[in-house]
Amino acid sequence: MDRHIEAFLEMMAAERGAARNTLAAYGADLADLAGHCARAGTAPASASAAVLQAYMAGLAASGLAPRSAARRRSALRQFYRFLLAEGVRADDPSAEIDAPRLGRSLPRGLTEAEVEALLAAADRHGHGSGLLARAALELLYASGLRVSELLALPRSALASEAPMLLIRGKGGRERMVPISAAAREAAHAMLAARERPHPFLFAGRGPRQPLTRQAFARLLKQVALEAGIDPARVSPHVLRHAFATHLLARGADLRSLQMLLGHADIATTQIYTHVLEERLAALLAAHHPLAG
């Protein structure tokens, strides 16, 4: 691996607490860049703006999705800013790279009635798996957790009656999220029915392993079928979207939602602004004197 890329990844891990998957993605992206630079007869640390622009143009010509190209651009920008900060370069050639045009990506949604149908189906699903499904659905929908955050919860997370949970999210960042009375009750019911103690709130097959994403995804699909909902529309991520869109539709603001979702940048949260736009349009239609 190029020594400058290696130093950059070490900085991302040590100083920014980047997650393993993030480091792997950045490493792969920058290795691809290094290959392009080698073919152009230069090294990544010495590449000109023209070399970088040719690289990005090649990605577009190869049919790479705009969102994937945007991630490559982000990796490049951070890498060359690092080289500039370290004094390896006196300029930042990545500053001249135009951002790929992204289509508007709106979350697939579930209605409030459909979430209620999922919860009711979990209650009918059977004692053990039904209790687990109910607790997981309640926590995902009430707190907006990522599936990785949900499955990493230790059993001790509910040891107190505090109204908030401490969550360790992406990059090791911590945040507080609310836990509803219904979610706490569902989790306690699941624990009470458990035959053997387990260190994780959502127990896997192994004595010290949490429930896997794959096993949880299969359970969600079964519950969706029983609720009469297309299983393709139901996933932990869709429930996180439902949490966000339903909060906004009922009056929450974007900054609060950013904190609850654990987004480092509010620009990530702004994908939900279509909900605010719809609410404002409805308010205008209902209350403006000339709306009729």
pLDDT at 195: 83
* pLDDT (0 to 100) of residue 226: 93
Q: Do 47 and 149 lie in a common domain?
A: no
pLDDT for position 147: 92
Report how far residue 27's alpha carbon sits from residue 12's, in angstroms, rounded to the nearest whole number.
Answer: 11
Q: How many CA atoms lie within 13 A of 238 on its CB side?
A: 19
Instruction: Kindly tell me the sign of the dihedral angle through the C-alpha atoms of 26, 240, 214, 108.
Output: negative
Calculate the alpha carbon distances from 98 to 25, 93, 175 in Å.
21, 12, 33
> Could you tell me if residue 290 is inside a domain?
no
Q: What is the model's pLDDT at position 97? A: 83
246 belongs to a structural domain: yes
210 DSSP 8-state letter:
B
pLDDT at 274 over 70: no
Do 144 and 226 lie in one domain? The reply is: yes
- Verify that 231 and 91 share a domain, yes or no: no
pLDDT tens sequence across 25-70: 999 999 999 999 999 999 999 999 999 999 998 988 888 887 788 8
- Do 220 and 266 lie in one domain? The reply is yes
Within-domain flag for 103: no
**Domain shared by 48 and 175, yes or no:** no
Which has the higher per-residue pLDDT, 272 or 27?
A: 27
pLDDT digits (tens, 9 = 90+) for 61-70: 888 887 788 8
Report the range of poorest mean pLDDT among 27-41, 127-141, 158-172, 216-230.
158-172
- Cα separation, 242 vs 141, in Å, equals 7
Domain-embedded: residue 8? yes
Judge if 158 and 197 occupy the same domain: yes
Residues 71 and 34 grouped into a single domain: yes
Last residue of a domain, one of 42, 71, 96: 96
Domain boundary among 44, 68, 96: 96
Task: Give me the percent of the chain exceeding a pLDDT of 90.
Answer: 50
**Residue 47: which domain range?**
3-96
Question: Of 1-10, 124-133, 162-171, 258-267, where does the model show the most confidence?
Answer: 1-10
102: in domain:
no
Q: Is residue 84 part of a domain?
A: yes
Instruction: Provide φ and ψ at 87, rounded to 5°.
Output: 80, 10
User: Looking at residue 105, what is its pLDDT?
Assistant: 54
- CATH code of the domain containing 83: 1.10.150.130
pTM: 0.62
CB distance 52 to 88 below 8 Å: no
133 lies in the same domain as 278: yes
Contact call for residues 167 and 190 (beta carbons, < 8 A):
no
Tell me what pLDDT residue 114 has.
95
- Residue 266's pLDDT is 81
Same domain, 116 and 252: yes
Per-residue pLDDT at 216 exceeds 90: yes
What pLDDT shows up at residue 239?
92
Q: Residue 101 — very low, low, confident or very high, per pLDDT cuts 50/70/90? A: low
Number of domains in the chain: 2
Query: Do residue 19 and residue 123 come from a single domain?
Result: no
Q: What is the CATH number of the domain that holds 267?
A: 1.10.443.10
Please identify every residue annotated as catalytic: 146, 170, 237, 240, 263, 272
Confidence of residue 219 (pLDDT cuts 50, 70, 90): very high
**Count of H-run helices and E-run strands, the chain:** 13, 2
Torsion sign across C-alpha atoms 206, 138, 194, 224: negative
Q: Is residue 105 a part of any domain in this protein?
A: no
49 shares its domain with 145: no
Q: Kindly report the average pLDDT of the chain as a whole number.
A: 87
Residue 227: inside a domain, yes or no? yes
Pick the last residue of a domain from 96, 128, 159. Answer: 96
Q: Are 30 and 126 members of one domain?
A: no
